[in-house]
């Protein structure tokens, strides 16, 4: 196993710049170049009704889905859902799908975590699971939001300050080159393990 701090690749950039798309493409090309890699984790995708975004779902790397947040959850009436903007966050649903994916296993090669955001962090078990992964020295590919306030949420600040962190800031003109860079760095890293 590699010595020193585990590698943590962080993708950031403004909403809609293509963080999820980039992570999916890197994941797919890694998988295609080496089908025996053991990859674990999840993506966050928006749910649309026509042109309107009505929520988010989490999707595991092998395609299982669960709701993360929605504008349309209403029952039970008396339940006070945690919210991010207009979305009600279904912490139990997120946890039931995502937390098992974040369990460290002996043979895992890479964890994919899209994203470390406010909704996901409502789960009090989510960030501790990430810290455990970092302690395990297994590489991580994660996306983190750019804060509206200019100040990172504490969990994101902690990831960015991790000694093994490499931060890629996406914009519309660099996303293809960042994808190539990230893919080749990960191929090198995974070949060493």
Q: Are 120 and 92 in contact (CB under 8 A)?
A: no
Q: Min. distance of Cβ 35 from ligand ATP in angstroms?
A: 24
Nearer to ligand ATP, 17 or 58 (CB): 17
> Quick check: 181 binds ligand ATP (CB under 6 A)?
no
> Quick check: 17 binds ligand ATP (CB under 6 A)?
yes
> Quick check: 175 binds ligand ATP (CB under 6 A)?
yes
> Quick check: 88 binds ligand ATP (CB under 6 A)?
no
Q: Min. distance of Cβ 42 from ligand ATP in angstroms?
A: 13
Nearer to ligand ATP, 138 or 182 (CB): 182
> Quick check: 20 binds ligand ATP (CB under 6 A)?
yes
SS3 assignment, position 120: helix
> Quick check: 6 binds ligand ATP (CB under 6 A)?
no
Q: Min. distance of Cβ 159 from ligand ATP in angstroms?
A: 16
Q: What are the residues binding ligand ATP (CB under 6 A)?
A: 13, 15-21, 175
């Amino acid at each position: 196993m590699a010595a020193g701090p585990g590698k943590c690749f962080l993708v950031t950039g403004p909403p809609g710049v293509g963080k999820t798309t980039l992570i999916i493409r890197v994941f797919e090309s890694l998988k295609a170049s080496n089908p025996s890699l053991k990859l674990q984790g999840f993506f966050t995708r928006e749910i649309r009704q026509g042109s309107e975004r009505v929520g988010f779902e989490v999707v595991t790397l092998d395609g299982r889905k669960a709701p993360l947040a929605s504008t349309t959850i209403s029952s039970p009436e008396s339940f006070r859902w945690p919210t991010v903007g207009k979305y009600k966050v279904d912490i139990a649903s997120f946890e039931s799908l995502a937390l098992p994916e974040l369990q460290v296993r002996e043979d895992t090669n890479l964890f994919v975590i899209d994203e470390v955001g406010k909704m996901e962090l409502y789960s009090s078990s989510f960030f501790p699971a990430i810290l455990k992964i970092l302690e395990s020295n297994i590489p991580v590919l994660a996306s983190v939001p750019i804060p509206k306030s200019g100040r990172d949420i504490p969990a994101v600040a902690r990831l960015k300050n991790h000694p093994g962190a490499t931060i890629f800031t996406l914009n519309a003109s660099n996303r293809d080159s960042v994808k190539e860079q990230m893919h080749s760095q990960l191929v090198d890293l995974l070949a060493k393990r």
